[in-house]
């Protein structure tokens, strides 16, 4: 009887410079079972201040003709401006995507991905939290959004050798 055994396919570590968050470390890894039916990808960007960053996890079920995928992502940004107001705010984006992909040919695939996301802005100033003369820009908000992404992927590349690919790749996303 087959029991799924996962193994690490890759581990990516690199440095990243984000215009808003500054210098950070990007980590990403992928696990896959022996037959390639299940794939788990996870990672994130961790800024050096440890207050901002990205985290994501994705699971793909690739056993049948139609591929299924779920992705959960969190992005946060901590902003502190020195000055007369000493603004301190935290922005967060939480996103959940469920997707299905259908290969119509061995070189053409259609994907449909419903997306639900929540954006949140919160003030972290003492005067705004306790309610003592809060500044105007310190109002908190939480907004829910939903939508659908569609993607058409064209890929007729052929591997001629180690890291030698010939062909064309392209994606059109709406």
Per-10-residue mean pLDDT of the chain, 174 residues long, equals 75 89 92 89 91 94 94 92 75 96 94 96 67 61 95 94 91 94
166 Cβ partners below 8 Å, 6+ apart? 157, 158, 160
Q: How far apart are CA 30 and CA 57, in angstroms?
A: 10
Q: Could you give the 3-state DSSP secondary structure of residue 136?
A: helix
CA distance linking residue 69 with residue 144, whole number of Å: 22
pLDDT of 135: 57
Q: How far is the C-alpha of 8 from the C-alpha of 40, rounded, in Å? A: 9
Closest by alpha carbon to 47, among 76, 71, 84?
76
Task: Specify the pLDDT at position 94.
Answer: 97
The answer to whether 126 and 119 are in contact (CB under 8 A) is no
Closest C-alpha among 120, 116, 70 to residue 93: 120
3-state secondary structure of 78: strand
pLDDT at residue number 4:
64
SS3 140: coil
User: Structure pTM?
Assistant: 0.81
Q: What is the pLDDT of residue 36?
A: 84
Helix ranges, the chain (H) = 126-130
What pLDDT shows up at residue 96? 98
Please tell me the predicted confidence (pLDDT) of residue 141: 85
Provide the greatest CA pair distance for the chain.
Answer: 68
**Residue entry with tokens 């392209």:** 170
């Amino acid at each position: 009887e087959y029991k799924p055994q996962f193994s690490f396919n890759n581990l990516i570590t690199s440095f990243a410079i984000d215009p808003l968050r500054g210098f950070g470390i990007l980590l990403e890894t992928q696990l896959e079972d022996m037959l390639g039916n299940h794939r788990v990808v996870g990672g994130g960007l961790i800024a050096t201040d440890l207050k901002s960053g990205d985290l994501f996890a994705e699971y793909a079920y690739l056993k049948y003709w139609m591929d299924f995928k779920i992705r959960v992502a969190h992005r946060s940004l901590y902003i502190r401006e020195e000055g007369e107001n000493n603004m301190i705010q935290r922005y967060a984006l939480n996103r959940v995507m469920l997707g299905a992909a259908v290969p119509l040919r061995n070189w053409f695939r259609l994907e449909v991905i419903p997306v639900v996301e929540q954006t949140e802005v919160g003030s972290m100033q003492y005067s705004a939290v306790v309610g003592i003369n809060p500044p105007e820009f310190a109002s908190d908000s939480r907004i829910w959004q939903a939508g659908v992404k569609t993607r058409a992927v064209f890929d007729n590349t052929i591997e001629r050798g180690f890291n030698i690919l010939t062909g064309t790749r392209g994606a059109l996303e709406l």
